[in-house]
Copies of this chain bind each other. A is one copy, B any other.
Amino acid sequence: MRILALTGGVGGAKLALGLASIRSADEVAFLVNTGDDFEHYGLHVSPDVDTLLYTLAGLNNQELGWGREGESWNCLKTLDTLGGESWFQLGDRDLALHLVRTKLLKESMTLTEVIGHVATQLGIEHKIFPMSNEPISTRVNTVHGELEFQRYFVEQKCEPVVTGFRFDGIEKAQMVPDLTILSFDCVIICPSNPFVSVDPILAVPGMRDYLHSLHCPVVAVSPIIDGKAIKGPAAKMLSELNLPVTSYQIAKHYQGLVNGIIIDKLDSTNQADIKNLGLRVAVEQTIMRTLEDRKVLAQSAIDFAMSL
Is A99 an interface residue, CB under 8 A from the partner? yes
A74-82, A172-180, A234-242 - interface stretch? A74-82
A82 to B97, CA, bound (A): 7
- Bound CA span A77–B71, Å: 12
- For A71, the closest partner residue in chain B by CB is B74
A95 near B82 with CB under 8 A, answer no
23 contacts between A and B (CB under 8 A): A41-B99, A42-B99, A42-B103, A42-B106, A43-B99, A72-B72, A74-B74, A74-B92, A75-B75, A75-B92, A75-B93, A75-B95, A78-B93, A81-B121, A81-B122, A82-B97, A82-B121, A83-B121, A84-B96, A84-B100, A85-B103, A92-B92, A92-B95
B contact residues around A71 at 8 Å (CB): 74
Closest to A123 in B: B81
Report which residue of A43, A76, A84 has the largest number of chain B beta carbons within 10 angstroms of its beta carbon.
A84
Known: A117-B83, A121-B83. A78 touches B102 (CB 8 A): no
Which residues in B have their C-beta under 8 angstroms from that of A43?
Answer: 41-42, 99
Docked complex: A214-260 residues within 8 A CB-CB of B: none
Establish whether residues A100 and B118, one from each chain, have CB atoms under 8 Å apart when the complex forms.
no
Cα A42 to Cα B95 in complex, Å, equals 13
Question: With A78-B93, A95-B95 in contact, do A84 and B103 touch (Cβ < 8 Å)?
Answer: yes
Determine if B118 and A82 form an interchain contact, defined as CB atoms under 8 angstroms apart. yes
Residues of B contacting A106 with CB < 8 Å? 42
Once bound together, how far apart are the Cα atoms of A43 and B42, in whole Å? 7
Q: Is A74 within 8 A of B99, CB to CB?
A: no
A96 — which chain B residues lie within 8 A by C-beta?
75-76, 78-79, 81-82, 84
For residue A291, give the distance in angstroms from its CB to the closest CB of chain B.
Answer: 23
A287 nearest CB across to chain B (Å): 32
Determine how close the nearest CB of chain B comes to the CB of A85; give it in whole angstroms. Answer: 8
B-contacting residues, A95-118, CB 8 Å: 95-97, 99-100, 102-103, 106, 117-118
A301-B85 Cα distance, complex, nearest whole Å: 41
Please give the distance in Å from A262's CB to the nearest CB on chain B.
Answer: 35
Residues A120-171 near B (CB distance < 8 A)? 121-122
Interface of chain A residues 51 through 103 with chain B (CB within 8 A): 71-72, 74-79, 81-85, 92-93, 95-97, 99-100, 102-103
